[in-house]
Amino acid sequence: KAGVTQTPRYLIKTRGQQVTLSCSPISGHRSVSWYQQTPGQGLQFLFEYFSETQRNKGNFPGRFSGRQFSNSRSEMNVSTLELGDSALYLCASSLEGLAAPPSYNEQFFGPGTRLTVL
């Protein structure tokens, strides 16, 4: 089974631009979560999508948004990029059932997209 894939792996943008990152979960996984990893703030939760709906959200400004498609693939978008948005963005998928709250199913992480904002 293929793992979580993220594209692109590396990205360089300039301040003020916007960027879209893509995540393809493991086949059959319906939950996709996004995390930002920086040396200063560590790993921080951005948001989670399940069945095309945002189910949970972290404490990030509205410039950070995401969506999920019917095939569970997810994208996250960052508008009006700032220098501080430079980070490794990690996507994770998990096998969730229909019942809420979610179980403790393992989250499988992709290799990440390294975004550099100049």
DSSP the chain: ----EEE-SEEEE-TT--EEEEEEPPTT--EEEEEEEETTTEEEEEEEEETTEEEEE-S--TTEEEEE-TTS-EEEEE-S--GGG-EEEEEEEE---SSSS---PPPEE---EEEEE-
Per CB under 8 A, which region of 14-22, 66-74, 78-86, 106-114 contacts another protein?
106-114
Q: Which is nearer to another protein, 47 or 81 (CB)?
A: 47
The reply on whether position 43 binds another protein by CB under 8 A is yes
The reply on whether position 85 binds another protein by CB under 8 A is no
The reply on whether position 21 binds another protein by CB under 8 A is no
Per CB under 8 A, which region of 11-19, 52-60, 69-77, 78-86 contacts another protein?
52-60
User: Shortest approach of another protein to residue 7 CB, angstroms?
Assistant: 13
Per CB under 8 A, which region of 11-19, 45-53, 68-76, 77-85 contacts another protein?
45-53
Cβ within 8 Å of residue 79, ≥6 positions away:
18, 63, 65
- Among 26, 66, 85, 110, the residue binding another protein under the rule CB under 8 A is 110
